[in-house]
Structure 1
């Protein structure tokens, strides 16, 4: 795609994001009250364009503004990396969060989820590395800082998945700390990896009617109390009713333990409180998590 095509299409691409409600919010909060050049709307357009073009540095973004086509879209003729850095510190994150929330709401209104997946959501996280010298509050390792994005992903149709909720924590913070924020809807099935395993939460979910599908921890103490018969041609190795935990600290509710294989054919042990689905369906639900690939 040449630059002329890019900039003639850019306004159309960003129109669902740079909406009147966004500009109204900027006016209401007074973020641009004394701004003469780099407005918040221009800032947003700059970084949306940088995302499309996969820019790696503020200097690269500043160079993009030298394009006449882009200058017309932005309403400014030049910008420096230092100005972009200062604007970063001035923009209200709540304004950008409102853009995200509005986009999710619009996508939901325009699509009809499939019957099978409408109550099936995926919880996952990904870590973003940062410079330790600049972000000491987010120290991750001895020489590295980082933050962690925790996602709740929802199917819009068979092939489209969107992040409908996101929380941000320092990278050191355990995934389990975000379960209250991400796992909270009665009747919904949540799929997540063992980083989110919390047996006390599992008991609470069982009592409240929240469903989950997850992988067991390697050191999990499990006692089988019954097993289900499987079809001869099933790829599932075993399907059992189990108690999880030690006799001194055991879950009150009975769970289901399914041994099957993941999308790459490796053995995997899955815990769930869904007893109404076939074992093969539970295995497929967990494999869907790996198909999304937010993180591993």
Structure 2
């Protein structure tokens, strides 16, 4: 039996945007057939495409899945005119967008969240607010603080060939991180610690392409790369609020993940109802590098709790 797939837009009122905003979403399965899983993509400023593998849950475990493009990217409203505006591109904006989507879809009273990378940071913060409808949380390949993330990134960078390190440091020092040489050196890091598949899945390629087309959100909030974080996210942390997360929580990362165990550990130590699984031979995208196992682990966790 074919899984129903629907998509559309919801209005998102952002008074400071200066124009009408919409959030695009896609639903796999029937929202009325069980507790839906809402996927929060990373970046910030990426698109839903690289999370499409989790839509397998609709067929394998009869769990409806909702994916969406966060404001500023993909099919949702773009705001290139807000580039560099750190008062506009905030964590609160994306928390508000998530709440709006849940309400507009009518699932605010019963849902689970899977956040990947930045999406896991957003999902964790959402869970600390103890929304009544949240039944379970999955934090995938995400840090509990950016201080820990940058420490981990520094240790991984030190393992790269010296000439690659030199190129990265030169362009970061000179402010020329938009150069092709810098991007090529970044690929060495990415191929080891972000996605180890060769060739990359088309869905992951589209994610990278989208960031090139409109890097507004990523450059404003994060900076030019995974390891050169100079935007306001460099000071982000949820550690002091982790004890407020009361729903069952699953932590995921890869053996060679840029989200090393050290950045995940506070979640494990401070959340009361928590499990942790690390995917062997995977890096930052186990949802592709170990697709079947990823869906199995997530599906079994959710089936026992939602």
Q: Give the number of the structure whose residues are more often strand, by fraction.
A: 1
TM over 0.5: no
Larger Rg: 1
Instruction: Give the structure-2-normalised TM-score.
Output: 0.30
Larger RCO, structures 1/2 (Cα 8 Å, 6+ apart): 2
TM-score, with length taken from structure 1:
0.31
